[in-house]
Structures are given as structure tokens and as C-alpha cells.
Structure 1
């Protein structure tokens, strides 16, 4: 097996699927609770806050789905130094974006936005490197497609978690 994208290195697909199943069960319980709440007369403010919290929940669920999809795709063919470097840079930027939301490490409110920009740039560089490697036969087209789908799923997972965290931080503001 080839080098993996470090952010997913060591991720146990079975464990991730189990954790996702737990999250899905929690989502189902939340949906049932919300259905019961809807039959009650909610104020407009409470209804709006509930809608926002449901949006945050959906972002987290979507991020988990994308992480499961990413880890399910093998990461073969990234032995090439240019590809490994691009994959590592993207994964580092994605990890930094997730870390930017850690209140113990992030005192700067703009840090997540800068980290998002860096992650997007890293993804674009990785995508270009993968397409180039497919075009010049350093990767088979099948390996290229698989790596593109894996990195795209990881990007979407991190984007969704970022959206959830950004909205959650707004919820916590006085």
C-alpha cells in the first residue's frame, strides 16, 4: 500500500464506521425530539435557534459521512515525491484548520479563516499534482481517480466541520 494522506493515516475504517453509526443514532434521536417539539407552540426566536442548531448538526453529520467515505478509499500510488509532498501539505493544512477551532490553541478569531484558505490552497495543489501524475503516467488513471475522490471527500469533511464550528462559535457569542 502506498503512502497515505497523513490526516487519515492510521484511521481504522471499521472504528470510524462504528463511530459514524453512533452519530447517526444520535441524529435520529435528535430528529425524533425535534418532531415532538414542533407540535408544541414555539416562539419565533426558539424556532429560529432550533433551525440553526439543526443546521450545525447537519454539518457535523455530513462531515462524518465524508470522513467515512475518505477513509474507505485506499491511498495507493502516492509514493512519488511530488505527490507525497502535496498530499502531506494538504493534510497538514486540513489538520491545522481542525486545530484552529481548538480553544486551547486558538486565541485569534481570524485563525480558522486563514487556515481554511490554506487548506483550500493545499487541496488545489494536490489536485493539480494528481492530475499531472495521471497525465504523465506516474499514476494510473484509476489510482488518480481514487486519490482525487479520497482527497475531495477529506476536503468536504473538513469544510463541513469548519462550517459547524463557525456557526457554533456564533451561537456562543453573547
Structure 2
């Protein structure tokens, strides 16, 4: 064995021992992992945002359209249409009408028919010295559907006179 080969073996052994006894770990690796994680999360966010535009994967917001929208205190029959975000009628939804700033003795409920309409008999009232008030409409989507009612619906306005 030549002197050169012998020097290479000694240097290699020293380098191996120095590497094995080094307890500092690999410098720069933690910051690279953090950068990879941040880039990965950002990419996932962009992909999920693109997917949320697909109608098959998202839920549709429901809205109520009462007719008439303005009533006086006393007995009334009110038709309420339930539609999805595309304007299509929703069958099987439960419509709940309750007092807000106007009074309603009992909460009224009805289920929409195939045309998305429900008819309720209400008897709203106003408090003393009150000229107007509102009745709140809530919608409970059909069970197992891809509908939700998170945003406020049109209210029924009750006016005196």
C-alpha cells in the first residue's frame, strides 16, 4: 500500500469519527422543513379554494320569500317560498315563523311542498306605542340534503293601521 493510500484511509477514519461524534445535527435542516411545510400548506389552501367552486362538493344557502312581505296586526295567511342559491324551489324544508320586534303568540311551522311553498296562518301583534315590527323566518333544510340556512332571511314587516 502506498503512502497516499494510507493517508486517505487515515483521513477517512478521522472524518467518520468526527461525523459520528458531532451532536449538532445537520445545520439548516429545520429551516428547510419549516419552509417546505409552509409551502405545502399554502398549496393545499389554493387547491381547496379551487375545489370549493365546484357545486357538487359544496352546500347551498337557502332563502325565504314571504308573500305578502308586509301585513297588519291580526289574522293572515302567508305563503313562504324556500329557494336555493340558484333560485330553485326546495321541497321538504321546514319553515319556522316567530316573533322578532313584533309579537306572535305561538311559533308557527310548516313544511314546503314540491313547489317549495309553505302556507302559514299567523296572527302578529304590536306592542303599545309601536308603529311597526318584524317577524323572523327560519328554515330547517330537509334531512340529508346539501342545504344550509346560515344567513338571515327576509323578515315579514308588521305595520299598524
TM-score, length-scaled by structure 1: 0.22
Structure ranking higher in helix proportion: 1
Structure ranking higher in strand proportion: 2
TM-score, length-scaled by structure 2: 0.23
Q: Which has the larger radius of gyration?
A: 2
